[in-house]
Structure 1
Amino acid sequence: MKKALLVIDMQVGLFHGPQAPFEGERVLANINALIVAARAAGAPVVVVRHTGPEGSPIAAGSALWQVVPELGVDVHQDHFVDKTRPSCFFNTGLAEWLDDAGVGELVICGMKTDYCIDSTARLAGDLGFKAVLVADAHTTMDSPVLDAAAIIAHHNQVLAGPFVKLLSTAEVSFQG
């Protein structure tokens, strides 16, 4: 089964915004390691950007909408998807593109755990994809109710099993 890496919302406005993501530098390093591993195996790298309406801080093309420059993506080699809702699948053509590319398994990483990571991980299986959530390669920020570490731990526990296979960066393989 062909695998693809799905890198969600690693954008300037989120990653370098007013509230820093939990262990952001570690998560970024893990995502970059996953990108290197995916490329070495010939697996597609799909980069998703959340896009706000015209005039918003994260409108298409704005400085805050851009992918963080520290992320090892290649605009000529990787597949870019723009979304307007938390799910990477809603009105984006992503599922169709993955089907056309023969991808059956998604390795999910990025931001934000409690929104776009959660929504995408839950829907992937309903669309026929096996999903792997990389436990140490997604992040979020503190909320008024829970700190980011608790949000991440909660989602890793809740999603593992019924929605995703939970692996660490070191455990992920894009072979076969």
Structure 2
Amino acid sequence: MPVLLIIDMQVGMTWPRSGARNNPQAEAGIAQLLSRWRQAGAPVVHVRHMSRTPGSVFWPGQPGAEFQPALAPRDGEHVVEKNVPDAFTHTGLERWLHARGHGELVIVGVSTNNSVEATARSAGNLGFHTHVVADACFAFDKTDLRGIHHAAEEVHQMALANLHGEYATVIDAAAAAALLAAR
């Protein structure tokens, strides 16, 4: 059964200081997938970024580091705390998945070009059958090293293009629900 891996859906991501973003419906899509996974009794892993940078919205003990209430873990759902974008680095996630025989991941969350992309790259490199749900992820506007501004949707699409076919298969929420239903 595929594992739903929910990345960095923390309160701080909802604050204006995070910047302009795309996919305003992403949280609703994540909540729907989470509900389906729970109804099926399928495995869910919640990933939370705990920053090492004082003043970060994800600094431990601050409200921004908490899970968004609608997407908060329930008893029995695994929680991974990370300090870098990749949810596999120094977290024990790979060991936890292998110990339970989980080889397929469905990744949702934020941000597409940062923690989602880093985690999906590692998952693919580690041999997990990895899916990234495009309409259940989002990105923020970004300025490149030349000083050119890129809208969040462009950043999102480029990150998905980087992943698709190489590290993961990019799908939509309907296809993710179908993956679960097929098991």
TM-score normalised by the chain length of structure 1: 0.91
Contact 2:7 2:115 in 1 (8 A): yes
Q: Deviations over 1:47-78 (max 9, x none)?
A: 1011012744322232110011232x333131
2:146 corresponding residue in structure 1: none
Q: How far 1:127 sits from its partner (Å)?
A: 1.3
Q: Does 1:165 align with 2:169?
A: yes
Q: Deviations over 1:18-45 (max 9, x none)?
A: 1253233x00000011101111222111
Q: How far 1:80 sits from its partner (Å)?
A: 0.7
Contact 1:133 1:165 in 2 (8 A): yes
Structure 1 pair 76/37, CA: closer, same or farther in 2 (3 Å)? Answer: same
Q: Which amino acid aligns with 2:113?
A: D
Over the residues paired in the alignment, what is the CA RMSD in angstroms?
1.6
Tell me how far apart the structure 1 counterparts of residues 99 and 81 of structure 2 sit (CA, whole Å): 18
Contact 1:7 1:46 in 2 (8 A): yes
Contact 1:5 1:44 in 2 (8 A): yes
Equivalent residue runs for 1:10-21 within 5 Å: 10-18=9-17, 19-21=19-21
Contact 1:107 1:133 in 2 (8 A): yes
Tell me how far apart the structure 1 counterparts of residues 109 and 39 of structure 2 sit (CA, whole Å): 20
1:6 corresponding residue in structure 2: 5
Mark the runs of 5 or more structure 2 residues left unpaired by the alignment: 144-148
Q: How far 1:158 sits from its partner (Å)?
A: 2.4
Q: How far 1:85 sits from its partner (Å)?
A: 0.5
2:37 corresponding residue in structure 1: 38
1:155 corresponding residue in structure 2: 159
2:68 corresponding residue in structure 1: 68
Tell me how far apart the structure 2 counterparts of residues 140 and 20 of structure 1 sit (CA, whole Å): 8
| 4+ long deviations beyond 6 Å | none
TM-score normalised by the chain length of structure 2: 0.88
Q: How many residues align?
A: 173
Mark the runs of 5 or more structure 1 residues left unpaired by the alignment: none
Q: Deviations over 1:72-103 (max 9, x none)?
A: x3331311110001100000000001111211
Equivalent residue runs for 1:3-152 within 5 Å: 3-18=2-17, 19-24=19-24, 26-53=25-52, 55-57=54-56, 58-71=58-71, 73-144=72-143, 145-152=149-156
Tell me how far apart the structure 2 counterparts of residues 151 and 10 of structure 1 sit (CA, whole Å): 19
Q: Which amino acid aligns with 1:140?
A: A
Tell me how far apart the structure 1 counterparts of residues 48 and 90 of structure 2 sit (CA, whole Å): 13
Tell me how far apart the structure 2 counterparts of residues 50 and 62 of structure 1 sit (CA, whole Å): 12
